[in-house]
Structure 1
Amino acid sequence: MVSRLSFGLGPTRSREEQPSHQALSDESRPQAWLQGGTPAPPYQATLHIITWNVGSAMPPDDITTLLGLNVGDGNTDMYIIGLQEVNSMINKRLKDVLFTDQWSEVCMERLSPFGYVLVTSQRMQGLLLLVFAKYFHLPFLRGVQTETTRTGLGGYWGNKGGVSARMTVFGHSICFLNCHLPAHMENHEERMEDFESILQQQQFEGQAATGVLDHE
């Protein structure tokens, strides 16, 4: 599943405090704030969010359509890519420890020419979460933390569970959670129990937003 989300990005201030100046380009807005000049007003940021159970398959040769690059010009602010059932056989996992896994590699190769940088990634067996952002947003992404929660075999095995990444973006707290839960309707109670367990166990340090649902 692919979705695009837009939200207000920038320092929060009252309507009376909003500075009046000419519109700035996407890149000059954060730079104006960083350099100590007139703070840039909030503007709409676009997130491209992907969740995909890849079924142990290799990455396709071309992920242009998946990333929406065929209908845009690289103006998306952030990409959040959550994959489930990435190949986690022992020989494959050992290779991924030594080298970048193939899914991360193909995403970086496709996005880097458009000025995107990998902010953080988290892997737990077949679960993979990647967060990319435009390079000029990096000074305003703070407090990046990741968490993992195993729910397979009573919490001992990571074939099921959740991986997350939290951060503040221009002072706004955001958390992305990628889960792989028991399938089929007959397992809906177990699925809900696992999700509640993930929410309870995922706690972040040194932040006002300590749990997943505490974020904005």
Structure 2
Amino acid sequence: MQKIIAQIAQEIRIQERQVLAAVELLDGGATVPFIARYRKEVTGGLDDTQLRELEFRLGYLRELEDRRQAVLKAIDEQGKLTDALRLAIAQAPTKQELEDIYQPFKLKRRTKGQIAREAGIEPLADRLFADPTLDPLAEAVAFTRPPEVLDDGKPGADFSTPHAVLDGVRDILSERWAEDAALVQNLREWLWSEGLLKSSLVAGKNENDPEV
């Protein structure tokens, strides 16, 4: 809790004792308007705007900390919690970045990438990614295999052609990139800074109508 108080004080540029006083009042059931009007002497003069920002950040950071502990526990129970991973989780500043780190460890249904890995296609994915000069179709021939037949007689994974094998390569690589927290964060920042939002008039709508 002390860490949260210190962070809020730094963000809003007030003293930690002011944050602590406001948190105690909020936790006691007092509302922001009440505190701003009747408890200025307790909070050191915090106004309505500062208190609303404080209340929002308090809720967010508490939820972030609760989620942080849940993620640590979930990964630890899988036996995959390393010192580096523990540090990355501890330093994640937002819920989104925390979820990006946790993404590879989430229990999920059998994916196309997982099916391709089980079929032994991952070495090809690594080879093609490492050397763009290789001919993908030619390299994929060695990884073809007869279509899988499931125990119930239904058809399973089919990597019987080079093109099907390369679909598996794409599934493996796309899942790998989607679970790379640093890459995802960089892409998100790039999209926010470089992305463009475009809107166009729906057919049949009158552009002079204020509601449109």
TM-score, normalization by structure 2? 0.24
Bigger relative contact order, structure 1 or 2 (CA pairs below 8 A, ≥6 apart) = 1
Q: Which has the higher helix share?
A: 2
Which has the greater radius of gyration? 2
Q: Which has the higher strand share?
A: 1
TM-score, normalization by structure 1? 0.24
